[in-house]
Amino acid sequence: MSTAAAPAVIPFDKREGYIWMNGELLPWVDAKVHVLTHGLHYGSSVFEGERAYKGKVYKSREHTERLFKSAEIMDFEIPYTVDEIEAAKMAVLEKNGGGDQYIRPVAFRGSEMMAVSAQHNKIHVAIATWNWPSMFDPAAKMKGIRLDIAEYRRPDPACAPVHAKAAGLYMICTISKHRAEKRGYADAMMLDWQGRVAECTGANIFFTKDGAIHTPKADCFLDGITRRSVIDLAKRRGMDVIERRILPDELPSFNECFITGSAAEVTPVAEIGPYRFTPGNISRVLMEDYVAEVGAN
């Protein structure tokens, strides 16, 4: 019995299409930076992850404003206005065919200075879009995904710019997700520096108990835009949403669990390490409400 070969994965530097970079729409393969770019060596880079549905970016302006806020936290200024970045996103999205796409704006320090200090480096801005389906198989979503528990923890706000969507903060996320995948999990749940439940490697996390929704207080990690959207959707349904500090010891007391993010959207969870959950009505309703919300965007 023959087995069909897996489809070849096209590297991201070899794809077709266009990328907006520093005010120009460039052929995809021509959007390049130098190997001595400061952002590569010192993590002086901020970015966003967004989705377009039917050619319209969900919560586009909120994402752009957060990009600017992240840059401010990282002590550099994006050399465009919010309106200019909004227009650039639409231009590259349309140039790449519109429809349902993922959008990745990124801003980073260039190569004029190669040291920790880089006050005079040019700030580069690029925006790429590409077709990207749901992170998890929609047909299997209500079965729930499996999460590992990460060894690395989200840092103390006194030790890192935790409210910026900064590239350097994702180093421990990549390590944690790789470890989880090697062990057969889809992702990993991270604790904060005090051992409390925080988030996943690229998504926020929610739990249910006695009909109410509980989610960690976003005081040492990003208050995700999708997180806020789902909280709003739940409140529209009359559900109680409690933002608080959650300890791992509480996990056995919860009924349902789901994660949220621009990439993950709303995805139920069946397992976190030794803890089990049963994806149920609250997860299903919010998953369906979110699909309707972005479709009506």
Which residues carry out catalysis? 165
Q: What is the DSSP letter of 55?
A: T
Distance CA 272, CA 251 (A): 9
Distance CA 103, CA 108 (A): 17
Distance CA 23, CA 272 (A): 44
> Which element (helix H / strand E) includes 122?
none
Helix, strand, or coil (residue 18): strand
Structure-token match 């919300």, residue found: 293
- What are the CA-CA distances from residue 120 to residues 113, 115, 123, 132, 242 (Å)? 7, 11, 9, 36, 45
Closest CA to 95 of 17, 182, 210: 17
Give the largest CA-CA distance in the chain.
Answer: 62
DSSP string of 147-215?
EEE-SS-BPPTTTS-TTS-BGGGGHHHHHHHHHHHHTT-SEEEEEBTTS-EEEESSSEEEEEETTEEEE
